[in-house]
Amino acid sequence: MLTSANFVFRHSVGTIYGYISSQGLQKLMLYNERAPKPYLLHETPNILLGRLLTTLLDRYFSGIPEQFEQVPLDISCGTHFQKKVWNALQQVPWGRTYTYAELAMLAGLSSKYARAVGKAVGNNPIPIIIPCHRILNSDHSLGGFSAGLEWKKKLLQIERIVLTKEGIIDRK
């Protein structure tokens, strides 16, 4: 759980807190109104990155396809396996969904690693930028999301992915 932040982004969809290290964006927390608010640090080690994030997140939440390639990331907290999965997640295009098995194959692993991949996805420290919300169960149901299913639904809807009672239908 993020207890302090040096980046905050407010939008009608919700509030996002983040931490920027000297190497790049290290953590984003999609704020849940029922959770305690993180302490906002006054020090900003990289104000330019904060401005870039604000611009890109504004574009994203306006429905403009954004892959966030220009955002430097600090994923040093992850294991080798997690980093492999998080890097593969960044290849999942805006407006598309993959299953955990498909993501495993995208990461160069067998689909038998789907469960382990799911665990790595669940530990993603930078949601939206590393788009874990685009990953679904094998039956195309939503599965879980670290910030809660309401956030996941909002993010998928922003990307024009149609939600149905039976599961998800990709925008093609």
Catalytic residues: 132
- Integer-rounded Cα radius of gyration of the chain: 16
**Residue 162: helix, strand or coil by DSSP?**
strand
Q: By CB neighbour count within 10 A (0-12 exposed, 13-18 middle, 19+ buried), where does 34 fall?
A: exposed
* Residues whose CB is less than 8 angstroms from the CB of residue 42 and which lie 6 or more positions away in sequence, other chains included: none
